[in-house]
Structure 1
Amino acid sequence: MLDAYMKNSHQLKGGDLFAYTVFLAIATHRSFRGAATELNITASAVSHSLKTFEQRLGVRLFNRTTRSVSLTEAGERLAAKLRPAVSAIEEAIQEVDDLRETPSGTLRINASEGAIRLILRPILARFLRTYPQIHLDIVSDGRLSNIVADGFDAGIRLAEAVPQDMIAIPLTGNIHFAAVASPEYLTVRGRPTTPQDLHNHDCIRFRFESGAIYNWEFERHGNIETINVTGPLTLSDQPLMVDAAIDGIGIAFVPDHLATDALRDGRLERVLEDWCPPFPGLCLYYPGHRHIPLALRLLITTIKDRQSLGRRS
């Protein structure tokens, strides 16, 4: 039935491209609500489009329960055929859109909060003033989302977290983590001299959005130490960890650029500095098989220009 429909439909009917887009969004998210969010339409519009599409095909594309949405065999086959075709259409439209004299459209970026603060915040005002018809949709996410499946144009992550099938553009040099504590805390509790000493200290732990607790990672002279620290406070926000360390709650382990001001003015001090080696920094990444939107190319150029100015100043 499905093959017959695909062979005999020589012309697109009104609304077909929309129906294909809705179908693929549901297939990607396995959720009507997720598809509605991606397409910026209501869940009822998604449901109505799929119902009409299935009626025209005469075949069920999804198995739906109150808890799950999954593709049927026919749905799997249709999705496999439609994805490259719809992607090609979207890229063709994007290439034409790039020819506009005034860049426009929505650019969706997924990044950690720290990356947003370090990379995007300094250029946002300038970029949006320069390109007023571009809308930036920036999502702070610590879950290492699949940017393709979740409908993002690009992501910003540490180099080691970028999937291998993505094109990555380095945005920073190497990054250091710093173990930091207030002078008052160190006066009372003493200074750890090895990572193992942290077992006798109050540490401010970090929780990923997945729920996992970060184990602190140290290295010196090829010796690697991974410590499952304990302490009175667990946070999912690294700037708050810096604040907690300033308040004397314990030792925090954070990217050192977050603690620069407090280290400079003496509110915090480094510990275990010789155990904190550098590692590859932040990258902006995007799918290599897609046309790069003009808005993304302009954003990359703006970031690079600011970094060049910073190096010269």
Structure 2
Amino acid sequence: MNENSELSELAVFASVATHRSFRKAALERGTSASAVSHAIRSLESRVGVRLFHRTTRNVSLTDAGQMLFAKLGPALADIRAAVDELNSWRDTPFGTVRLNVPNTLAPFVLGETIETLLKTNPGLRLEIVATDRRVDIVEEGFDAGIRFGERLSQDMVAVRIRSNLRFAVIGSPAYFDGRAVPATPQDLHDHVCIRYAFPGGTILHWEFLKDGESMQVDVDGPLTLDSQELMVDAAVRGLGLAYVWEQRAAPALREGLLMRCLEEWCPVDEGLFLYFPSRRHQTAGLRAVIEALRA
């Protein structure tokens, strides 16, 4: 076996060891789970010891695998850093950056930024996964993620990014026919509201801020959805008030299908951050993404 094949198998091993999953390792490396499994079998055959315990549900390291991973991790990190330093000899960064972004935010945060990044950095590749599921970016092989500051763990570096996002409380003219428009967030208790549920089942609280006074309201209503697009559609149909990103409702607001309320209680949200592991080497590609998104 040549050295390139050996290094490739060791890189596959490190990916599986990191994620404890053949599927996630395959996703990170842009290959199939069967190819990852084949590489691990080949490596185990070559070194003569089993490196992983495998069941139908779990993948875990053997004692030998733990020893190899402990020694190998820093060495591979040094190799990746050395390769990335070649970017200093290029006009623009080269390589792949994997980002995790909340689905509800992705179009409004990344829209024009993606176009600019790819046009000005022809060697850069972006892989973006948009999901409202809570994601561990280290475990799932992402270089960085976007999230609100209060939800970040302490071992992350957080960079505030540009934000023109704010929530809007919206309802249709038909819904307000015969109903008083809420003047304060407390008035929402007298209204039918369309609730948003995160993938884990947690219900989104409606949060407000005015003149330094913050308020959180747990609303109620017969309809709970996991999509802001569906919430806007339900609001247009007069099924209740919805609390969504202003940009999601913009077309319907322009057409007069929806109207806003409590607008003075919905300031621009400045708590949006790009975050990444503090202990991981910051590649030139990631630095380009940070610069493009930085506030």
- TM-score of the superposition, structure 1-length normalised? 0.80
Matched, 1:231 2:216: no
Give the one of 152, 155, 163 matched to 1:165: 155
* Cα distance between partner residues in 1 of 2:76 and 2:17: 14
Asked if the contact 2:193/2:219 (under 8 Å) is kept, the reply is no
Say what the alpha-carbon RMSD is for the aligned residues.
Answer: 2.9
Matched residue, 2:279: 289
Residue 204 of structure 2: aligned partner = 214
Distance 1:264 1:48, change over 3 A: closer
Paired AA for residue 227 in structure 1: D
Native 8 Å contact 2:50 2:64 kept in 1: yes
Letter in 2 for 1:89: I
Q: Distance in 1 between matches of 2:85 and 2:138?
A: 19
Is the 1:115–1:157 contact (alpha carbons within 8 Å) kept by the matching residues of 2?
Answer: no
Structure 1's unaligned 5+ residue stretches are 1-11, 308-313
Once the two structures are aligned, what percentage of the paired residues are identical? 45
Change (3 A) 1:256 1:186: same
> How far off is 1:185 after superposition?
0.6
CA contact 1:196–1:227 (8 Å) conserved in 2: no
Moved more, 266-275 or 152-161: 266-275
Kindly state the Cα deviation for residue 180 of structure 1 after the two structures are TM-superposed: 1.8
Residue aligning to 2:38: 48
* C-alpha displacement of 1:136: 1.7
| SS of the residue 2:177 aligns to | helix
1:4 equivalent in structure 2: none
Q: Give the match for residue 145 of structure 1.
A: 135
Q: Distance in 2 between matches of 1:39 and 1:154?
A: 16
Are 2:112 and 1:117 equivalent residues in the alignment?
no
Tell me how far 1:90 sits from its aligned partner. Answer: 1.0
**Counterpart check, 1:247 vs 2:237:** yes
- Matched residue of 2:146: which SS? strand
Query: 2:90 maps to which residue?
Result: 100
* Whole-angstrom distance in 2 between the partners of 1:178 and 1:156: 21
State the shift of 1:102 in Å: 4.5
Amino acid at match of 1:243: D
Within the alignment, does 1:205 sit opposite 2:195 as a pair? yes
Q: Which residue of 2 aligns with 1:17?
A: 7
Query: Which one of the candidate residues 51, 59, 63 is aligned to 1:69?
Result: 59
Aligned partner (choices 24, 28, 53) of residue 18 of structure 2: 28
Write the distance in 2 (CA, Å) between the matches of 1:180 and 1:122. 26
Residue 131 and residue 222 in structure 1: after superposition, are their counterparts in 2 closer, same or farther (change >3 A)?
closer
Residue 183, structure 1, aligned to residue 182, structure 2 = no
In 1, Cα distance between equivalents of 2:33 and 2:115 = 34
Q: Which amino acid aligns with 1:96?
A: L
Within 2, Cα distance between the matches of 1:78 and 1:229? Answer: 54
SS of residue matched to 1:117? helix
SS of the residue 2:17 aligns to: helix
After superposition, the C-alpha distances for 1:72-125 in whole angstroms (9 at most, x for unaligned) are 233233323322221121111111244223533222211112432112112333
Find the counterpart in structure 2 of residue 7 from structure 1.
Answer: none
Taking a change above 3 Å as real, the CA distance of residues 150 and 13 of structure 1, as seen in their structure-2 partners, is: same
1:285 Cα deviation from its structure 2 partner: 1.9
- Residue 70 of structure 2 aligns with an amino acid whose one-letter code is A
8 A contact 1:179–1:254 mirrored in 2: yes
SS at match of 1:15: helix
Tell me if 1:82 matches 2:67.
no
Contact 1:28–1:149 (CA under 8 A) maintained in structure 2: yes
Q: Which amino acid aligns with 2:220?
A: V
Aligned counterparts of 1:116 and 1:31: Cα–Cα separation in 2: 27
Which moves more between the two structures, 194-203 or 90-99? 194-203
Aligned to 1:8: none
Cα offset, 1:276, TM superposition: 4.6
Question: Using the alignment, how far apart are the partners of 2:233 and 2:156 within structure 1?
Answer: 35
Shift of 1:151: 1.8
Q: Distance in 2 between matches of 1:80 and 1:163?
A: 24
